Amino acid sequence: MRVPEDKIEAYYDALSAFWHPVARSADLVESPLGVRLLDRRLVLARLEGEAVAFEDLCRHLGAALSIGDVVEGCHLRCRYHGWSYDRTGRCVDIPARRGRPIPREAKVRRFHTREAYGIVWVCLAGEPQHDIPPFPEYRDEEFHKGPLRTYGPWRASVPRVVMAALDDTHFPWVHPGILGDPSQPDPPEHEVWREDGRLLSTYTMLQPDNDTVASGEDRPALEKVTYTNHLTPTSIRLVKESAAGTYVIWQASSPISWDETLVFSYQARTFDRGADRDPDYERLQDEIQEQDRPVVESQRPWLLPPLSSRMMLYIRPADLPLISYQKWLEELGIPQQL
């Protein structure tokens, strides 16, 4: 199914007002890094200690600055003819023109950049209109945090990826024996509401025994768990309460393009707090992601179709969280695809 260019452009426009994760802070050290966001090539660099994002395009003859060098920790130098840019994006050295003024137009476009949770975030709009997706457990000592991980890129749009984490009625089908039990396909009762510009949903269900829901001896085959999901249009934080304690998955999706999504993810837990246990939790998460991936990548159309089109036949009450999320995107003017 072809996607009209104007729909893609409108989608990029709408998402450009949000902060998007683009790289690990730890990866931005001595060399520049080329990344893609909303199909735009960006170069990231750490200049004078600050993470900066520029258009990945030298003002001289258009070479990619991401294949250049960071010089003395403060300038980004193009590999082609050595033009150097400071952290504001202004050209400060043209080796073939030394001793003469540098043209005023010799600068590259700089985008808003921030660092939070060990991640570099970029907003492409003139003024960011939203916050970075909150992750309160990051600094909460009650929680042990696993390492930052990335998944993908998946061949799917961001809303499809977020909805895969929001939707629980697929658990018995896609994650049998881990998150759901095929003998119990009845959906839980969902509550969905808005708060402080975010969407929240909660539900209680029975989940098969695994490390994230139970601990100790004599674990029951099925454990009662309550999820509370906190959403922004591009991220989800799943807070799961169970006999084991509180287990959190935080996922921020980066729209590399309209049909490619890279996920930055953390796990946090109040129990089983040893870092030596992290690989077991990572393996579980990897398995779940790999079960989701082929299904999500198979979904069409790539961007969500408008609710009014009835191209997706939601059922109530099971799909209430998905319907609410999609309605919310429509209210926010995030375009859909027919």
Instruction: Tally the residues of the chain.
Output: 338
Spatial distance between the Cα atoms of 162 and 325, rounded to a whole number of angstroms: 9
Shorter beta-carbon distance to ligand FES: residue 61 or 315 = 61
Phi, psi of 326 (to 5 degrees): -65, -40
Q: Which of 53, 78, 236, 334 binds ligand FES (CB under 6 A)?
A: 78
Task: State which residue, 62 or 317, has the beta carbon closest to ligand FES.
Answer: 62
Between 40 and 77, name the residue whose CB sits nearer to ligand FES.
Answer: 77
Q: Which is nearer to Fe ion, 25 or 291 (CB)?
A: 291
CB of 114 to ligand FES, least distance (A): 27
Measured on CA atoms in the order 167, 169, 174, 175, is the torsion positive or negative? positive
Tell me the torsion sign for CA atoms 50, 53, 57, 60: negative
* Interactions with ligand FES, residue window 34-63 (CB under 6 A): 58, 60-61, 63
Rounded Cα gap, residues 111 and 107, in angstroms: 13
Closer Cβ to ligand FES, 60 or 114, answer by number: 60
- Comparing CB distances to Fe ion, the nearer of 8 and 178 is 178
Q: How far is the CB of 38 from ligand FES (least distance, A)?
A: 24
Residue whose Cβ sits closest to Fe ion: 292
Burial 47-58, CB ≥16 within 10 A → b, else e: beeebbbbbbbb
> How many angstroms separate the CA atoms of 111 and 51, rounded?
11
Nearest to 89 by CA among 73, 67, 111: 111
> Radius of gyration of the chain from Cα atoms?
22
Q: Rounded to the nearest whole angstrom, what is the least distance from the CB of residue 19 to Fe ion in the complex?
A: 25
Stretch of residues binding Fe ion (CB under 5 A), selected from 52-60, 86-94, 128-136, 290-298: 290-298
Q: Is the separation of the CB atoms in 199 and 192 below 8 Å?
A: yes
* 251 in Cβ contact with 150 (< 8 Å): no
| Binding segment toward Fe ion, per CB under 5 A, in 148-156, 207-215, 287-295, 329-337 | 287-295
Residue 262 contact, options Fe ion, ligand FES, none, Cβ 5-8 Å cut-off depending on partner type = none
Contact 39, 258 (CB under 8 A): yes
* Closest CB 288 distance from Fe ion, rounded Å: 6
Sequence-distant (6+) residues with CB within 8 A of 18 are 123, 128, 129, 130, 232, 233, 234
Partner touching 292 among ligand FES, Fe ion, none, CB below 5 to 8 Å by kind: Fe ion
83 touches ligand FES by CB under 6 A: yes
Q: Which of 137, 181, 259, 292 binds Fe ion (CB under 5 A)?
A: 292
Nearer to ligand FES, 91 or 174 (CB): 91
CB 86 within 8 A of CB 73: no
**Which entry of ligand FES, Fe ion, none binds 58, CB below 5 to 8 A by partner kind?**
ligand FES
Binding site for Fe ion (CB under 5 A): 292
Binding site for ligand FES (CB under 6 A): 58, 60-61, 63, 78, 80-83
